[in-house]
Amino acid sequence: GIAGPVLAIESSCDETACAILAPDGTCLAQRLISQDGHADFGGVVPEIAARAHLALLPGLVSQTLKDAAMAPEDIGFIAASTGPGLIGGLIVGTGFAKGLALALNKPFVAVNHVEAHALTARLPGLVPGGAPFPYLLLLVSGGHCQCIAVEGVGQYRKLGGTIDDAAGEAFDKVAKMLGLSWPGGPALEKLARDGNPDAIALPRPLAGRAGCDFSFSGLKTAVSQKLAPYGQTALPYRFAADLAASFQQAVADVVANRIQQAFDMMPEATLLVCAGGVAANTVLRARLEEVAASRGLRFAAPPLKLCTDNAVMVGWAALETCQEAARRGLPPPDDSTTRPRPRW
């Protein structure tokens, strides 16, 4: 079989990251660079991101090896996110990882980025009481917005997803309308603390509907209509804060309703795991905790550093994949010919 430690690379969006994990999942070293250079454009520019990954990866990987006091030969196998994500970054990360594996004569394991988010909660010691299968995963970030039944390694059932924007995208777009800088989620949450969440009536898209799909574009439009009377004039602070708080409340209401539905679709779940950058939102977190508690279920969110894109989750997913293959008596994965899959 494949023996650790694993060296893992993440490059699917605008985080360039490398981590080295022992076979039991202990993180021996990790480095992450959140690329700057995108904020002026109000979003991630794929071409800039790919070039930055290319410039950053060699040094980052050397540094991570140095931090772990390891030589490249000490690595058992190499892993990388090979999709879904931005094709340029995926090509850079996958090509780098495969090249390293080839040069060192070590196996290469391709990791699905969403699967890595899904399995993060199972990192030993992360969630009190652990995260045994099956559990319900809510993945909410700038790029993802879905409810997934996590039934085992390699066994996932998508219960619902967004039919327009991702939750983080909605936060970012509304924040932009309010004149906040990108990424707007954290700034909007801060502004909302000074506002009244009941001050401004906003819709709750899809709430009460069957299934657990999400929609945020109607909410975004409603916010822009509330802003229309102000035209180009500066927003009164009080009004901006009320609008931010009312928007955040609407998102929390919608997500709470969708999660109730997801639990109905997955009665065997005893745990709700929330991951992705939007999981940092304290109002949303509190609501999800409430929903889980009202059903007598556990709620867990990995620490923020592991909720957002990182390489530790990629290494862990690779280790779990290898262990699962061994458990089933299957040969270890050999993904040396796998190509990046932006829409995997």
Q: Applying CB under 6 A, which part among 71-79, 140-148, 157-165, 216-224 lies near ligand KG4?
A: 140-148
| Least separation in angstroms between CB 191 and ligand KG4 | 11
Could you tell me the two tokens for 293? Answer: 């508690």
| Least separation in angstroms between CB 136 and ligand KG4 | 18
Q: Does 268 show up as a binding residue in the annotation? A: no
Instruction: Kindly state whether residue 11 participates in binding ligand KG4, applying the rule CB under 6 A.
Output: no
Q: Does 198 show up as a binding residue in the annotation? A: no
Instruction: Kindly state whether residue 172 participates in binding Zn ion, applying the rule CB under 5 A.
Output: no
Instruction: Kindly state whether residue 309 participates in binding Zn ion, applying the rule CB under 5 A.
Output: yes
Residues within window 209-268 making contact with Zn ion, judged by CB under 5 A:
none
- C-beta of 309 vs 335, nearer to Zn ion: 309
> Exposed, middle or buried by CB within 10 Å (0-12, 13-18, 19+), for 1?
exposed
- Site track 292-311 with ligand KG4 (rule: CB under 6 A), x = hit: ----------------xx--
Q: Applying CB under 6 A, which part among 46-54, 135-143, 232-240, 322-330 lies near ligand KG4?
A: 135-143
* Sheet-wide strand order for 155-161: 155-161, 145-152, 135-140, 271-275, 298-300
How large is the angle between the packed helices 184-192 and 167-177, nearest 10 degrees? 70
Nearest to 148 by CA among 251, 256, 253, 269: 269
Tell me which residue has tokens 């862990």. Answer: 316
Distances (CA, A) of 51 to 43, 163, 212: 16, 31, 37
Q: Does 296 show up as a binding residue in the annotation? A: no
- Site track 147-186 with ligand KG4 (rule: CB under 6 A), x = hit: ---------------------x--xx----------xxxx
Mention every residue, 6+ apart, whose C-beta is less than 8 A from residue 267: none
Answer with the entry of Zn ion, ligand KG4, none that 84 interacts with (C-beta below 5 to 8 A by kind).
none
The H-assigned helical ranges of the chain are: 46-67, 87-104, 113-119, 167-177, 184-192, 217-227, 237-265, 282-294, 304-307, 312-327
- C-beta of 169 vs 309, nearer to Zn ion: 309
> Exposed, middle or buried by CB within 10 Å (0-12, 13-18, 19+), for 289?
middle
Rounded to whole angstroms, how far apart are CA atoms 117 and 164? 21
- Residues within the annotated binding site for substrate? 139-143, 172, 185, 189, 281
**Where does this chain bind ligand KG4 (CB under 6 A)?**
13, 141-143, 168, 171-172, 183-186, 189, 276-278, 280-281, 308-309
- Residues within the annotated binding site? 113, 117, 139-143, 172, 185, 189, 281, 309
**Where does this chain bind Zn ion (CB under 5 A)?**
309
